[in-house]
Structure 1
Amino acid sequence: MLGATPHAQRVDPNPDPGQRDGVTGRDGRAVGLCWHGDPCVPSHLSHGLMHEVSRTSAVPTLSTFRTTRVTPLRTYQSAYQGAGELLDFSLADAMNQEFLQTRTNEKVELQELNDRFANYIEKVRFLEQQNALMVAEVNRLRGKEPTRVAEMYEEELRELRRQVDALTGQRARVEVERDNLLDDLQKLKQRLQEEIQLKEEAENNLAAFRADVDAATLARIDLERRIESLQEEIAFLKKVHEEEIRELQAQLQEQHIQVEMDISKPDLTAALRDIRAQYESIAAKNIAEAEEWYKSKVSDLTQAANKNNDALRQAKQEMLEYRHQIQSYTCEIDALKGTNDSLMRQMREMEERFAGEAGGYQDTIARLEEEIRHLKDEMARHLREYQDLLNVKMALDVEIATYRKLLEGEENRISIPMHQTFASALNFRETSPDQRGSEVHTKKTVMIKTIETRDGEVVSEATQQQHEVL
């Protein structure tokens, strides 16, 4: 356990061994006492130091260290009769008793400070352990968890992208097949239009042929009627000729009778024979001409009718062929329409299914990206916590080093011999009133550490120190 003696010497965090033994102030005058050879840490200095440690620990990114120069605990004006006068031993005994009492009180206070310092050390160790745990946790999260999760999500994203690419290729093939079928359908429609035009032309030709056939039929009927009239005329002429012949024969018979009765009359038989021969030749000629004309007309009409019949038969045959082609094309068009409808329905179903799957994939990708963003935010939060703990650790390390230097300085200084301390007490002079005032000098060190993170990763890190003397 450390002892304590009153003193008012200014504490230097880095004491010089050549100046530790002095007890003078800034102006060279005596400003305090130090009795015995025990190590001493003033109560007000220890209390101020612990106050500064606790106050500095509350700020993780800013470490402030103060080294305070303090005034004497008390002055002993009654111990002096003038400057440079020596004290008697009775007064020294009284002062010694008072110093012993003060020393006892300061020992108790220093014990409390030591207990607090031990608790502080335990707290520092606990924080270091927590810091190590947090560092291990951050390293584990940084090295394992995000990588594994990212690899898993990236593999799932790659699988989803492959499925989307396969579906896109399948959709492109279906669209190409649809376009080919549409082209075939357009070609078939064009062929159907051409066949319809050919059918219309055939029907027009058939109508024209029918008009020709009707005209030929009318001409044939007219010719038949004329033939009948000619035949009737020929029959009538035959009857007339026969009547004339009979009349002539009757006349010839009568004339023959008259010739027999009258031989002196001229012979009319030769004349009648000539007349008959002339009439017969004329009738035969007329009959031959009529038959010839009738045969020629009948032959012409027969040829025209045969020709029209051939054309009509050919037109009917072509019309039947066109009808068969139209029926086959109609059946083919109906089949293609059914195929096109089924393909369009399949395409719509595939588009709807692809749209639903794409929406599901987009939702999955958005969810995975949201999880990745959440993991990055959590990793950034862990990094910030780690950085805060690291800043706290650095501040505590600096404060511990400073406090260790203060303790080492005090331990080195308590090795002053007892007689030197007592002699310095005898040579103690009264401090001037203006020097007994409270003097406080503060040295503040500000450490600013800037860490820039982006998407949970440390991008840059900078440290800046500022020294101020208050």
Structure 2
Amino acid sequence: MKKCISEMDTLVFKMFHNEVTRRTHTRMCTRTHFYTYTLSVYYPHVPFTHTPLSMTHCRSRTSSTSLDILSPPCPSTISTSLLTPLNLEIDPNAQCVKQEEKEQIKCLNSRFAAFIDKVRFLEQQNKLLETKLQFFQNRECCESNLEPLFEGYITTLRREAECVEADSGRLASELNHVQEVLEGYKKKYEEEVALRATAENEFVALKKDVDCAYLRKSDLEANVEALTQEIDFLRRLYEEEIRILQSHISDTSVVVKLDNSRDLNMDCIVAEIKAQYDDIVTRSRAEAESWYRSKCEEMKATVIRHGETLRRTKEEINELNRMIQRLTAEVENAKCQNSKLEAAVAQSEQQGEAALSDARCKLAELEGALQKAKQDMACLIREYQEVMNSKLGLDIEIATYRRLLEGEEQRLCEGVGAVNVCVSSSRGGVVCGDLCVSGSRPVTGSVCSAPCSGNVAVSTGLCAPCGQTCGSSRSVRFA
């Protein structure tokens, strides 16, 4: 579309230039014939001839330049008698008016040249903007081709994030299960610790009982030993008494006089007493030995019973120690597994967060690039609208100049009056034609012809598009 607009602008400008060239050529030919006719009327005694411009020569000169500039007019033959001063009764203010008109025409020509430069600059800017627009459109197409890839990548990342969330849920359930198992082990461990404390308390109580039994045993053994020593002492005492008594009996002679003349058998009495004492000692010894044996048996049974209880208690304590060690190892293993699971969950969460943050960053970058592309597109569209507005203004100015040229041409064709022509040569390469018309005043004009090449500028007496006339002057410049 922009290319078509640029081609249309170029075509309109060429058509405008061709129209200006054609009308300028026609005007120059008309002016030449008109000037020849006027000179022949006012100066019949001067042989003035003029050779019309060659259209072929003009076309060849036009094709040799970029803006179809007219070739210089053919040389005119002028008599030397024209050098003699003539009394033409010309108004002295006409020269000042002409000078002012020339200055105005130069100003208008400068404006027209600036307008041409502005048109060229705007065409260059239009081409540059078209290139930028095409570049951004191509880049947008490339980005649009990359959009499915980014969408696929984002979908993959979302799928991975969902998998990570599912894994985190599964790991969370496993962690809850492990925590429940750990709580169970903790409860069992606390129960075992309580049982151990109870067993230790029982062991302390049993140890106290054993100590008491051992002390009682020691006391009983001491009592048995004391009683044995006492029995031995009494035995020795009794034996000594018996021996002493026997010695007294054996050394003492007793004479008893009885009335009945009966003899006292002391040996039988002593033997009987001795037998009684022996029986008492034997019974006491038997009783003491039986009591000692019963007490010893009782103490042995108590010691055996307490020893068995102590052995069972020690076995239970050892079993509890082994169970405590096993539970401690299981707790440590559960703690290690729990720490590993927590580390895995944390790592999974970090990876998921990193993946989500990366996806968000890439999505933000894509959105930023899209927003930037939209902003660039909006800037380009705004610049294009400005260029189109400038083009519209230039088209309006071109149409205004065209209407002005047509109106000036019609006024030139309709205007009739005396013409004063001055032909001179210049090295500046300028062709100027001024024509002043005001009511019934005589028409004066001057034509300066010389070889020319370059740009073409056309100005009218209108100072601005508003239509305010500052004079009916017209200038065609080839520079």
Look up the match of 1:155: 155
Q: 1:306-361, CA deviations, whole angstroms, 9 ceiling, x for partnerless residues?
A: 23431332122122112112112212312331342354256446645754674466
Map of 2:165 onto structure 1: 165
The one-character-per-residue Cα deviations of 1:272-320 (angstroms, maximum 9, x if unpaired) are 6566545544553454355335434543453344234313321221221
Cα 1:383–1:190, aligned 2, differ >3 Å: closer, same or farther? same
Q: In angstroms, what is the RMSD of aligned CA positions?
A: 5.6
Uncovered stretches (5+) of structure 2, i.e. residues with no partner: 1-18, 29-87, 94-101, 103-108, 418-435, 444-460, 467-479
Partner of 1:336: 331
In structure 1, what residue type is equivalent to 2:198? L
Give secondary structure in 2 for the equivalent of 1:315. Answer: helix
Q: For the residues of structure 1 that align with 2:89 and 2:360, how far apart are their CA atoms?
A: 88
Name the amino acid aligned to 2:383: D
Q: Measure, in 2, the Cα distance between the counterparts of 1:157 and 1:407.
A: 66
**What percent of counterpart residues are identical?**
8
Structure 2 residue 263 is matched with structure 1 residue 267: yes
Q: Aligned match of 1:320 in 311, 315, 318?
A: 315
Quote the offset at 1:382 in angstroms: 2.9
User: Over residues 198-221 of structure 1, what are the superposed CA-to-partner deviations in whole Å (9 max), with x where a residue is unaligned?
Assistant: 354244234323422421331342
Task: Decide whether aligned partners of structure 1 residues 345 and 160 sit closer, same or farther in structure 2, where only a CA change above 3 A counts.
Answer: closer
State which of 441, 454, 464 in structure 2 corresponds to 1:429. Answer: 441
2:301 is paired with a residue whose SS is: helix
**1:181 positional shift:** 5.9
CA distance in 2, matches of 1:326, 1:343: 25
Q: Is the 8 A contact 1:227 1:294 kept in 2?
A: no
1:429 to 1:206, Cα distance in 2 relative to 1, 3 A: same
- Mapped contact 2:192–2:324 kept (Cα < 8 A): yes
Contact in 2 for aligned 1:206/1:315 (Cα 8 Å)? yes
Matching residue's letter, 2:329: D
**Highest RCO, 1 vs 2 (Cα 8 Å, sep ≥ 6):** 1
CA contact (8 A) 1:131 1:390 kept: no
Q: Distance in 1 between matches of 2:152 and 2:201?
A: 73
**What is the TM-score with the length of structure 1 in the denominator?**
0.51
* 1:376-413 deviations in Å (ceiling 9; x for gaps): 32332233123212321233134324533653575588
**What per-residue deviation string (whole Å, max 9, x for no partner) do you get for residues 19-69 of structure 1?**
xxxxxxxxxxxxxxxxxxxxxxxxxxxxxxxxxxxxxxxxxxxxxxxxxxx
Unaligned stretches of 5+ residues in structure 1: 7-76, 83-101, 103-108, 432-437, 444-470
C-alpha distance in 2 between matches for 1:212 and 1:133:
111
Deviations 1:194-249 (A, max 9, x none): 35533542442343234224213313422442453355457647856986998899
* Counterpart-to-counterpart distance in 2, 1:81 and 1:247: 211
Contact 2:199 2:317 survives alignment (8 Å)? yes
Query: Which of residues 389, 393, 412 is equivalent to 1:394?
Result: 389
Instruction: Determine if contact 2:203/2:313 at 8 Å carries over to the other structure.
Output: no
Confirm or deny that 1:207 pairs with 2:207: yes
The 1:407/1:156 distance shift into structure 2, 3 A limit, reads farther
Asked if structure 2 preserves the Cα contact closer than 8 Å seen for 1:150 and 1:372, the reply is no
Q: Is the 8 Å Cα contact of residues 128 and 393 (structure 1) preserved in structure 2? A: no
Q: CA deviation at 1:371?
A: 4.5
Contact 1:206–1:312 at 8 Å: present in 2 too? no
For residues 153 and 430 of structure 1, the distance between their equivalents in structure 2, rounded to whole angstroms, comes to 88
AA matched with 1:228: T
Cα distance in 1 for partners of 2:202, 2:345 equals 46
- Matched residue pairs, number? 332
The 3 A distance-change label for structure 1 pair 136 and 321 is closer
Write out aligned runs for 1:323-402 (5 A).
323-345=318-340, 347-348=342-343, 351=346, 355=350, 358-359=353-354, 362-363=357-358, 365-402=360-397
What secondary structure sits across from 1:268 in the alignment? coil
CA distance in 1, matches of 2:387, 2:462: 31
What CA distance in whole angstroms lies between the structure 2 residues aligned with 1:340 and 1:349? 14
Cα pair 1:138 1:383 within 8 Å, conserved:
no
For 1:216, the equivalent position in structure 2 comes to: 216
Q: So what's the TM-score if we normalise by structure 2?
A: 0.50
> Match for 1:216: what amino acid?
R
Query: What is the rounded CA distance, in whole Å, between the counterparts of 1:81 and 1:321 in structure 2?
Result: 148
Aligned equivalents of 1:278 and 1:239: distance in 2?
A: 12
What CA distance in whole angstroms lies between the structure 2 residues aligned with 1:128 and 1:331?
85
Are residues 1:229 and 2:229 paired?
Answer: yes
Aligned counterpart, 2:137: 137
Quickly say closer, same or farther: Cα 1:323–1:178, change in 2 above 3 A: same
